[in-house]
Amino acid sequence: MLVDDETERALLVEQALAQHGYQVVCQLSSTASLRYHVERVQPDIIIIDMDSPDRDTLEHMTVISQHNPRPIVFFANHDDNPDSIKLAIQAGVSAYIVDGLTAKRVKPIIDVAVARFNEFQQLRHQLHNSQSQLAEQQLIDKAKRLLIKKQQMDEAKAFSTLRKLAMDRQQKMADVAKDVITILEAL
């Protein structure tokens, strides 16, 4: 998907992309309806070629990165604001290139943007898994503490009780821990 507010420049960018085997599946002149078009077309990569990102463009990129993530390459013709790059990266831009686009730079820039995007997605996935595991462990620990306090068990007995309940019910220990917490806190 190509977003460019200048028709002549958009044609040059499209030709440069075509030279490297890329096909523009959707071309927009502004980011106003970007989210809608991304959901409708499902492009592999979003390329935005503008003078510099404005607040609305950054907001649209943030929403896309949260709800429909994909590599975003931003080509800026100039950068008067040093915070622009930082804000664009925070909004989900995979590559922020100042000084426009040339045909010979297209492929390596897109390759780097895709690689950075994939690496970032892996890190997000790992973070999510780690947070989920931590939350599950905290539930199990809370259930053990309640069993120790309210049922006068030692820690080993509390853990084995939770494990046995999980095996008997064919549920995850965290799910059993939630039930135990609900029951014991009601007492």
Looking at residue 65, its amino acid is S
Which residues, at least 6 apart from 53, have a Cβ–Cβ distance to it below 8 Å? 61, 74, 76, 84, 87, 88, 91
Rounded to the nearest angstrom, the gap between the alpha carbon of residue 97 and the centroid of all alpha carbons in its chain is: 21
pLDDT digits (tens, 9 = 90+) for 121-166: 999 999 999 999 999 999 999 999 999 999 999 999 999 999 999 9
Spatial distance between the Cα atoms of 78 and 55, rounded to a whole number of angstroms: 16
Asked if 13 and 4 touch (Cβ cutoff 8 Å), the reply is yes
pLDDT of residue 22: 92
Identify any residues that bridge with 12 across adjacent strands, giving them in sequence order.
none
Flag whether pLDDT at 80 surpasses 70: no
pTM of the model: 0.76
Q: Which domains does the chain have, with CATH numbers?
A: 2-101 (3.40.50.2300), 127-186 (1.10.10.10)
Asked if 36 and 2 touch (Cβ cutoff 8 Å), the reply is no
SS3 of residue 48 by DSSP: strand
pLDDT of residue 179: 96
